[in-house]
Amino acid sequence: MEWIGIYFGLYVLVTIGLYHILIVKLEGWFGVWPWIAFMLLGIACLYFSIAAKTPTWSMWWGYNAFINLWSVKEMFDQRERAR
């Protein structure tokens, strides 16, 4: 458990980079409609964060909830950037 902060920090760094690439590619291929999948995934992760039995899992699910919910905004922002 003493390394959880390091592991989580690396996870955040990797997922932010991957989501950036994912948003750009998905918007280019499909337009903005994948926002629905990000919204549903974000809401599901919020539920799991609230229902989690430990603070570590709640933190992990909460982070995933908000990275997916933020991606909804980024899908529409990417459309504007691509114009």
pTM of the model: 0.89
Structure tokens at 7: 């592991």
**pLDDT at position 73, please?**
96
Structure tokens at 68: 């997916």
pLDDT, tens only, 5-19: 999 999 999 999 999
Cβ(49)–Cβ(58) below 8 Å? yes
**pLDDT at position 42, please?**
98
Cα within 13 Å of Cα(39), Cβ side: 9
Residues in contact with 49: Cβ distance below 8 Å, sequence separation at least 6, in sequence order: 57, 58, 59, 61, 62, 64, 65
**pLDDT at position 1, please?**
66
Instruction: Indicate the average pLDDT of the chain.
Output: 95
